[in-house]
Structure 1
Amino acid sequence: MPRSRSGALTLAEEEPRSPRQRWLAGTLGVAVVGVLGVAGWQGVQHLLHAVASERCEVTVSGTTHRWAPDQASNAAAITAIGVKRGLPPRAASIAIATAMQESKVRNVRYGDRDSLGLFQQRPSQGWGSPEQILDPEYATNAFYDALVEVDGYDGMEIADAAQAVQRSAAGYAYAQHEGQARATASALSGQSPAVLGCALRDPSEPGDPEALSALLDKDFGLAAEVEGTRVRVDAADPRSAWAVAQWAVARASTTGATRVEHDGRSWTRAMDDAALTWAGDGSTGPGEVVIDLA
């Protein structure tokens, strides 16, 4: 190894790099940083996807209301049954507000004393057997049966109408849910088109088109046409069609629906904000709703 004049060891000088060598080194460095950056971003995206919460949103008159998917699914059933019975959207607003206060719109198997289900109905008070009350269709119809017996319910304050049915010790509490209940009922009854979306992960298993067809009949009393993994519904009018279309989105967490189309608009299942809105790339007409399953 070379020594300095003082006798100290020195490192041999490197031979200067050519312009081509410098260019190759720089390009390689940029490529490595780029690969690491992409890998890191993909890792972040994967992590965010894993921890993100599934959710549904309803936006009416500039105000957004959020639901968990199971709550949205139950609200969809409550509203659809009201539509099937020919009740006004006000009835669904009252029912949803009641369920929000009583059970957070969840079909719970517990409650005060012997209260159960979406509306916390009590077998001991004549609402039905525990098994019946825990059937959302039965419980919702039982609520509506009592509601329509309230004279002038559709012109009453939502809290007053709910209290007339429930006879709760805290009847005033229903009022706090009025805004979200009305917006949700407006969407799910078809009065407010294309305002409900759900950000959902991919289904854990394929959806069953025959089961979806049966659910449409159960909730709406509608016949559907099954074509492979596609379910098609012809609605009687635009409002009914939007009721079915947004019902299909709200029910997607349980049915496995991945895409819904109606009147030139579409909802596509995904875990991002795009799934909270409807795109303008649908190919169906005004009276037709198409639901695709995984």
Structure 2
Amino acid sequence: MVLCGVAAYLVVQYVTGGGGSHGCKVVSATGAGTSYEFTPEQAANAATIAAVGTGRNMPERAVTIALATALQESGLRNIEHGDRDSLGLFQQRPSQGWGSAQQIMDPTYAAGIFYAHLAKVPGYADLPLTVAAQKVQRSGYPEAYAKHEPDAELLSAALTGQAAATLTCDGRFDPAAQAIGPDAVRAALVRDFGRDALQETGAEVGGAPVPSPSPSPSVTATASGRTVTVPVPLGTRTDASGRDERERGWQLAHWAVANSSALHIQRVTYAGRVWIAGSDGGAWQQVRSQGVAGAEKSVGVVRIVTGQ
């Protein structure tokens, strides 16, 4: 029994990320003092889940449900094993019609098919989180999702842009990362947010038309690296999920910080705030630089600086 207990503890530590150095942290925007610490790998996966959800015009509640589900099922890790043939972030099973093993191991696909099933649950946004998640997952432990709701709410608020400057990472680069630099950043934006994240009206990517256009990011060289500038449409308009432009801007900014380790992102600026890898513990600071300060205080663009 003691050995079984130790084994169970080790499994929980591995899956949920307990112990060791985390590297990323999200805090409450209300000043309540609540926070959640997690790894860069978990941060990148959480950012993908949120981006796919908002890209499908799902509300913040749906993103919270998805994040809590992934926290329970895999600890926000894209694992290649599980109960029977379960795989990936949501432990979806090829034998149960969730897709091929290759598809399920793609976080963007896995999140998308989770949302597709969630959207079919009548009144899911008004259900208790654990009930909504269980109607999608059909888990043998239906109450297990509830304990992750507070952490999922913090992540969702940051990664949908509802909360500003609440997600930080220390910015330690992943030495194993192969795809880095501005092209990798733009490819990752397309992967998570869709083709229209980079294209203007009427543009095409790979011969496919873009249904929902957004302004196109540009890349410029600076003394500190190469900057990917992602325009955020100005105004007071909201999208189908109810978010305004400033919230979409903070979603992009937090997404960049969450992916800073994997993509070797050095600096992110938005709305007068700046995040710099390895500086002040990765905390967001007020922009104090001269010259470009006016541009960096704009809510109209997110600037992402890479070293390549």
Taking structure 2 as the reference length, what is the TM-score of the superposition? 0.75
- Tell whether 2:290 aligns with 1:293: no
Deviation at 1:202, TM superposition (A): 4.5
Q: Give secondary structure in 2 for the equivalent of 1:197.
A: strand
User: C-alpha separation between the residues in 1 aligned to 2:112 and 2:173?
Assistant: 32
- Please point out which of 190, 200, 206 is paired with 1:217: 190
195, 207, 212: which one pairs with 2:180?
207
In structure 2, what is the Cα distance between the partners aligned to 1:256 and 1:90? Answer: 31
CA deviations 1:50-82 (Å, max 9, x no partner) are: xx8351000003211101110011000000111
Q: Which has the higher helix share?
A: 1
Instruction: Count the aligned residue pairs.
Output: 241
Change in 2 beyond 3 A, CA 1:121/1:202: closer
Does the 8 A contact of 2:173 with 2:262 survive in 1? Answer: no
Which amino acid in 2 is paired with 1:260?
V
1:53 alignment counterpart: 21
- The 5 A counterparts of 1:83-102 are 83-102=54-73
Q: Tell me, in whole angstroms, the C-alpha distance in 1 between the residues paired with 2:43 and 2:103.
A: 21
Between the aligned partners of 2:104 and 2:173, the Cα distance in structure 1 is 31
Flag the 1:203–1:134 CA change in 2: closer, same or farther, 3 A: closer
> How far apart are residue 207 of structure 1 and its match?
2.9
Q: Which runs of 5+ in 2 are unaligned?
A: 1-19, 199-216, 234-244
Q: CA deviation at 1:203?
A: 5.6
Report the residue type matching 1:56 in the other structure.
C
Match of 1:71 in 2: 42
Give the superposition deviation at 1:215.
Answer: 1.1
In 1: Cα distance, 2:82 partner to 2:174 partner: 31
Aligned to 1:243: 251
User: Tell me, what secondary structure is at the counterpart of 1:107?
Assistant: coil
Whether the 8 Å CA contact 1:213–1:226 is kept in 2: the answer is no
**Where do 1:118-197 residues align within 5 Å?**
118-197=89-168
User: Aligned-pair distance for 1:87?
Assistant: 0.8
Q: How many angstroms does 1:154 deviate by?
A: 1.1
Which residue does 2:283 correspond to in 1? Answer: 277
RMSD of aligned Cα (Å): 1.6
**Deviation, structure 1 residue 165:** 0.3
1:34-58 Cα distance to aligned partner (Å, 9 max, x none): xxxxxxxxxxxxxxxxxx8351000
Paired residue for 1:232? 229
- Whichever of the two has the greater Rg, that structure is 1
Q: Equivalent residue of 2:275, what SS?
A: strand
Q: 2:273 aligns with which of 265, 276, 279?
A: 265
Q: Deviations over 1:186-218 (max 9, x none)?
A: 001000000000013246479321111111122
Q: Structure 2 counterpart of 1:53, which letter?
A: S
Looking at structure 2, the residues matched to 149 and 183 of structure 1 have their Cα atoms a distance apart, in angstroms, of 25
Spell out, residue by residue over 1:127-186, the C-alpha distance to the aligned partner (whole angstroms, 9 max, x if none).
001011001111110100000000111111111110010010101000000000011010
Provide the C-alpha distance between the structure 2 equivalents of 1:192 and 1:265, rounded to a whole number of angstroms.
13
Task: Kindly indicate whether the alpha-carbon contact (under 8 Å) linking 1:196 and 1:276 is maintained by their aligned counterparts in 2.
Answer: no
Per mean C-alpha deviation after superposition, the further-off stretch among 74-83 and 220-229 is: 220-229
Question: Residue type of the partner of 2:162?
Answer: Q
**Distance 1:238-1:180 versus aligned 2 partners, 3 A rule:** same
Structure 2 distance, partners of 1:210, 1:139, is 24
Aligned partners of 2:227 and 2:155: how far apart in 1? 26
Contact residue 171 and residue 282 of structure 2 kept, 8 A: no
Structure 2: distance between partners of 1:70 and 1:56:
9
